Amino acid sequence: MAQTITEKIFSEHVGREVYAGEIIRSNIDMVIGNDITTPISIKAFEESGAEKLANPDGFSIVLDHFIPAKDIASANQARISRDFAKKHNLKNFFDEKDMGIEHALLPEKGLVVPGDVIIGADSHTCTHGALGAFSTGMGSTDLAFAMISGGNWFKVPESIKVVLSGKPGKYTTGKDIILEIIRMIGVDGALYKTLEFTGSTIEHLSMDDRFSMCNMAIEAGAKSGIVAYDAITKEFLADKNLAREPKIHYSDADASYSKVIEIDVANLDPVIAYPFLPSNGHSVVQAVADKIKVDQAFIGSCTNGRLADLKVAAEILKGKKVHPDVRLIVTPGTQKILREANHLGYIDIIVDAGGVVSNPTCGACLGGYMGILGDGEVAISTTNRNFVGRMGSRSSKVYLANSAVAAISAITGYITDPR
């Protein structure tokens, strides 16, 4: 019987053919914790009486939300993870010494590979599906169970096939594609399903684009997002010391899908998600007509803090100045991305234009620090959520966009079309 790529990944892990709707117990290749959620997992792990990790090389802790610590509470929170990592001699522990946002850092380190089953106590763990893996967010106690047992229980999700056709325009990115999908189906349109991205457009999308698309699958309610391994995936992995041998799977031509969505990307404008839902998408042309004044432009997060984002920002900002009424904050996804951007001259261009470059952190995205919005303020942001109060004050507003839109809007003071 024909299978989707997701069904094949689980079949390989379970040792028999499995299909959508089945409840299965699967081994997990990589468990990911961060500074906010891991202390809860550690508490559950220790209360269980467990003395060692089932798969220590398949467990990573990345301190990325409030690191360097923003206050006493976050410092104490981080210490719980540090003490646990030291006690268990954890190989894959990342703090200030080799820091980055978890969903940018782990692919960079080769710790997540095609064919993996990956879980993390962070909803945007679905990012790693861009590598041809099954990757999803779960709760902290689910993480603890995986730490103890090496596996967990799953319901194999049905898949929605997203067929993308055409070559995207210069400033149409993976971010715009996923925002358009969410606009079409809503924030619960893919509830507990896999969004499988296919079609001729895929060959035109960089890994950075693919990470953005899979990252925001959760904003449509999806359990995961996935892109099959191809030449672009192979090139991305070529210089990495991979934690495991990749296992390559492809969906059968006659596999069963719950729905098929088709999008002509060649005719897709950059998309702006208006407050207060990622599904409230509008063309940038409409946003320009609406004359939306911004107080802050933010480029970063696990969605759009990669080198391609800093590159396009630098290209647009070169020789220009950030509007006097706008704050431009740029957060590279990892220290490696920061160093590469610096080597290529992007950081100098951003700073010369009047932007500020922070350490890698999730802080601004969740309204934690490094870019909190005040009462009534408006942000154009490359992050993934724009709920009420997401980036600060409950009276603030967040418009989601790609990095080119954020950069040009920082210059003009209004949401602007970069084309």
Contact at 8 Å (CB) between 259 and 222?
A: no
Of 237, 263, 289, which one is at a domain's C-terminal end? 263
- Token pair in block for residue 191: 């509830």
| One domain for residues 278 and 219 | no
**Is the CB of residue 256 less than 8 Å from the CB of residue 2?**
yes
- Quick check: is 31 in a domain? yes
Same domain assignment for residues 252 and 277: no
Tokens of 345: 């001259």
CB 150 within 8 A of CB 27: yes
- Domain extent at residue 372: 272-412
Residue 87 belongs to domain with CATH number = 3.30.499.10
pLDDT at residue 32, as a whole number: 97
CA 380 to chain centre: 18
pLDDT at 103: 97
| Matching residue, tokens 């802050």 | 296
For the record, the structure tokens of 353 come out as 């234009």
Please enumerate in sequence order all residues whose Cβ is within 8 A of that of 285, keeping only pairs 6 or more positions apart, or say none: 269, 417
Closest CA to 152 of 59, 84, 265: 59
Residue 376 is assigned to a structural domain of this protein: yes
Same domain? For 191 and 208 the reply is yes
Residue 56 inside a domain? The answer is yes
Q: Looking at residue 244, what is its pLDDT?
A: 95
Do 223 and 298 belong to one domain? no
Per run of 10 residues, the mean pLDDT along the chain (length 419 residues) is 97 97 98 96 96 96 94 95 96 94 97 98 97 97 96 98 97 98 97 97 98 97 98 97 96 97 97 98 98 98 97 98 98 97 98 97 92 97 96 97 98 97
Q: What is the pLDDT of residues 166-221, one digit of tens each?
A: 999 999 999 999 999 999 999 999 999 999 999 999 999 999 999 999 999 999 99
Do residue 248 and residue 279 come from a single domain?
A: no
What residues are paired with 225 via a beta bridge? 195
Distances (CA, A) of 400 to 184, 343, 373: 16, 29, 14
Nearest to 181 by CA among 171, 200, 194: 194
Residue 243's pLDDT is 95
Domain boundary among the residues 243, 263, 283 is at 263
DSSP state of 78: H
Contacts with 352 (C-beta within 8 Å, 6 or more apart), sequence order = none
The mean pLDDT value of the chain amounts to 97
Alpha-carbon gap, residue 63 to 370, rounded angstroms: 15
Which of 213, 234, 263 marks a domain boundary? 263
Percent of the chain residues past pLDDT 90, beyond the cut: 100
Q: What is the DSSP letter of 100?
A: B
CA 208 to chain centre: 10
DSSP per-residue codes, 54-91: SSGGGEEEE--SSTTTSSHHHHHHHHHHHHHHHHTT-S
Assess if residue 417 is contained within a domain.
no
The verdict on 251 and 341 lying in the same domain is no
Alpha helix positions (H), 140-242: 140-149, 174-185, 207-215, 231-237
Tell whether 100 and 131 lie within a shared domain. yes
Q: 276 and 254 in one domain?
A: no
255 and 403 in a single domain? The answer is no
Residue 418 inside a domain? The answer is no
- Shared domain for 196 and 308, answered yes or no, is no
Number of domains present in the structure of the chain: 2
Q: Are residues 351 and 387 in the same domain?
A: yes
Q: Can you read off the two tokens belonging to residue 361? A: 């952190």
Tokens of 237: 């992995």
Please give the model's pTM, rounded to 2 decimal places. Answer: 0.95
- Pair 249, 380 in one domain: no
Neighbours of 315 (CB within 10 A): 13
pLDDT at 285: 98
Q: Report if residue 337 sits inside a domain.
A: yes
Write out pLDDT tens, residues 358-406: 999 999 999 999 999 999 999 999 999 999 999 999 999 999 999 999 9
pLDDT at position 409 is 98
Identify whether 88 is part of a domain: yes
Residue 19: burial class (beta carbons within 10 Å; 0-12, 13-18, 19+): middle
Residue 419 lies inside a defined structural domain of this protein = no
State residue 176's pLDDT score: 98
Which residue in 134, 135, 214, 137 sits closest to 174, CA to CA? 214
Find where tokens 């961060």 sit.
Answer: 34
